[in-house]
Chain A
Amino acid sequence: MYQIAKNDLPALFRKISETKELYLPVRVADQVNFAAYTEDADVSLETLKTVKSPKDAFFPQSETLYTCHKEENKLSITPEELQNQEFVVFGIKACDVKGIEVLDKVFLSEPVDTFYKARRDHGILVALACNEPEESCFCKAFGIDCTDPKADVATWLVGDFLYWNPLTEKGAALTDAVKELFAEADDSAVQKQQETTKAIVEKLPYMDLSLEGWNGDVLTEKFDSPLWEELYQPCLACGTCTFVCPTCQCYDIKDYTTGSGVQRYRCWDSCMYSDFTMMAHGNNRTSQMQRFRQRFMHKLVYFPANNDGMYSCVGCGRCVEKCPSALNIVKVVKAFQKEGGDK
C-alpha cells in the first residue's frame, strides 16, 4: 500500500493525465459528475455520489457507431474507431464498480459489444472507498462493502492522505507509472477508517433492506401483483431514475442526417418512456404501470434469473435522491415486504 498527501493529488492527476485520459468527479455549474481532468477542473473527491454514475466512461449516453457519407453518387461508410488508448477512471465508488460488473454481464456476453469491450479493455478503474455514506445508500443489501472497493486500484482518503492499493495487473502498471509520487504505507490508518465507516453503515436506514423473495422463481407472482397498480401512480414517466442509474443499460439506435450523410448513433433509452421499444405494430407495454413494473422486475427478477442471481441494482441510492415523485426501488421492495408480512 502506498500513500500520497492530499495536497499532492493535483500532481498525481497531472502525472496520470500526461499519458492517459483521466476521468474523475468534477464540479461544473454546481453539480458533480465524472468528467475529463483538466488543469482548471474543480475536482471534488469529497462528493459521495456524482449525479450520474460513471457508467458513461464505458457506455456513454450517446456514441456514434458509424458514419455514412454521400458525395455525388458515391456512398462511403466509416465505422467509428474503437477505444485504443488507455484511460483512468478515478474515484469510482464500490457500488458503481459493481454497476460496471452488471454492465459487463450484458455487454461482454455473446454477442460481445465491441465498443463497450474496447473501453473496458483500455479503462483502468481506480476506486475510492466511502467514508461517510448517506441515508440513501443501501449497497450492503447487495453484498457490497463500500469501505473496500474491488477495482484495478483501491484507494482511501484518510486524514491528509490518500492511500493507494493496486489490486490487478492493470492497477500495478498504473501504480508503476506514478510511483515516484507515492510513499510506502501500512494499512492501519485505512483499517481504522474502515471500521468507523462500517459502524455508520450499520446505522443507515436502508441497510437492513431485505431482498428475500426477489429472484427468478417469483416471476409470475410478482408480475401479477396488484401492488404495481398502486405503486406506479405518482410516476411521471421521466427517465431520471434510468439515467442516473449505474446499471441501466438500455439504448436506442438512431440516425442523424448531417446533410452530407448520416451518423448512426446509439443513446441511452429509458423503459419509463412511452415509446421505449416502439415497433411497427406499436408498443408492447402500453401503460405506465407496465413500464414502471418492467424497470423493477428487470432489476430484481429478470436480471438475476438470467445472471446467476445477480441483481441489476447496486444500492447506490441515486434514484432515491433524484426521483421527482420520490419513488424508488426501496419503496417498491418495502411495499412488497409489507404486503408479504401482512398476509
Chain B
Amino acid sequence: MPLTENEFRPKIVAFCCNWCSYAGADLAGSSRLSYPADVKIIKVPCSCRVNPMFILRAFEKGADGVILCGCHPGDCHYSTGNYYARRRMTLLFSMLDYLGIEKGRTRVEWVSAAEGVKFSQTMNEFVEKIKSLGENVRLGDLRCKN
C-alpha cells in the first residue's frame, strides 16, 4: 500500500520466537502473504524471553501496538517457555487494562512454523485493530513524540 499523507500509520513491534513464529513469518514471506509494513519483527529465542520491560519500552519509545508470537502451547521448542510467557503476559495485559490502556494494544498469538497464513492474517488483523484504536497517547513518553 503506498503511503498517503495524513493516514495514521501505526508503529508495531512483533516479538517472534525463533522456532515457530519467526519461521511462520518466514513462511508468510515465502508464500507472499502480505501484511502491512507497519509491523517490524524482533527475533527472540522463545516467547518466554520477552520481558514486560521490553513491551513497555516499545510503548515508551512510540509504539502503538505490541504483539508477541510464540509456539502453540505444548509445542514450545524449550517445552515450557510459552507457558510462562502466557502467565506473564496475562498478568501484564490485565494490569495495562486496569490502568486504562486500551484493550487490544497488546496481543499474544501462537503461530507455528507451518502457519504462514495465520501469521499474515494475525498481523493484518492486529494492524487493523491498532488503526481503529488510533495513536497510542496513554502509554508513551512525550519526549519521544516529536
Interface size class of B (residues with CB under 8 A): under 10
0/1 interface trace, chain A 240-284, chain B, CB 8 Å (1 if under): 000000000000000010111001000000000000000000000
A295 to B55, CA, bound (A): 38
Cβ distance B17 to chain A, nearest Cβ, rounded Å:
26
Interface size class of A (residues with CB under 8 A): under 10
Chain B residues closer than 8 Å to A259, beta-carbon distance: 61-62, 144
Cβ distance A254 to chain B, nearest Cβ, rounded Å:
12
Interface check B146, CB cutoff 8 A: yes
Cβ distance B145 to chain A, nearest Cβ, rounded Å:
8
A259 to B141, CA, bound (A): 11
Chain A residues closer than 8 Å to B61, beta-carbon distance: 259
0/1 interface trace, chain B 122-145, chain A, CB 8 Å (1 if under): 000000000000000000010110
Most B C-beta atoms less than 10 A away, residue of A256, A258, A260, A263: A258
Residue on A nearest B145 in the bound complex, by CB: A258
Chain B residues closer than 8 Å to A258, beta-carbon distance: 141, 143-144, 146
Chain A residues closer than 8 Å to B62, beta-carbon distance: 259
0/1 interface trace, chain B 53-75, chain A, CB 8 Å (1 if under): 00000000110000000000000
A263 to B146, CA, bound (A): 12
Cβ distance B58 to chain A, nearest Cβ, rounded Å:
12
Residue on A nearest B142 in the bound complex, by CB: A258
A258 to B145, CA, bound (A): 8
Cβ distance A132 to chain B, nearest Cβ, rounded Å:
39
A258 to B143, CA, bound (A): 6
A259 to B146, CA, bound (A): 9
0/1 interface trace, chain B 33-67, chain A, CB 8 Å (1 if under): 00000000000000000000000000001100000
Chain A residues closer than 8 Å to B141, beta-carbon distance: 258
Cβ distance A63 to chain B, nearest Cβ, rounded Å:
13
Chain B residues closer than 8 Å to A260, beta-carbon distance: 146
Cβ distance B146 to chain A, nearest Cβ, rounded Å:
7
Residue on A nearest B62 in the bound complex, by CB: A259
Residue on B nearest A64 in the bound complex, by CB: B143
A260 to B61, CA, bound (A): 10
A260 to B141, CA, bound (A): 13
A258 to B141, CA, bound (A): 9
A259 to B143, CA, bound (A): 9
Cβ distance A124 to chain B, nearest Cβ, rounded Å:
29
Residue on B nearest A262 in the bound complex, by CB: B143
Cβ distance A38 to chain B, nearest Cβ, rounded Å:
20
Cβ distance B9 to chain A, nearest Cβ, rounded Å:
16
Cβ distance B116 to chain A, nearest Cβ, rounded Å:
32
0/1 interface trace, chain A 285-299, chain B, CB 8 Å (1 if under): 000000000000000
Chain A residues closer than 8 Å to B146, beta-carbon distance: 258, 260
Residue on B nearest A67 in the bound complex, by CB: B143
Cβ distance B72 to chain A, nearest Cβ, rounded Å:
35
10 sampled A-B residue pairs with Cβ under 8 A:
A256-B143, A258-B141, A258-B143, A258-B144, A258-B146, A259-B61, A259-B62, A259-B144, A260-B146, A263-B143
7 more contacts with CB within 8 A, not counting A258-B141, A258-B146, A259-B61, are: A256-B143, A258-B143, A258-B144, A259-B62, A259-B144, A260-B146, A263-B143
The 6 closest A-B pairs by CB, nearest first: A258-B143, A258-B144, A259-B144, A263-B143, A259-B61, A256-B143
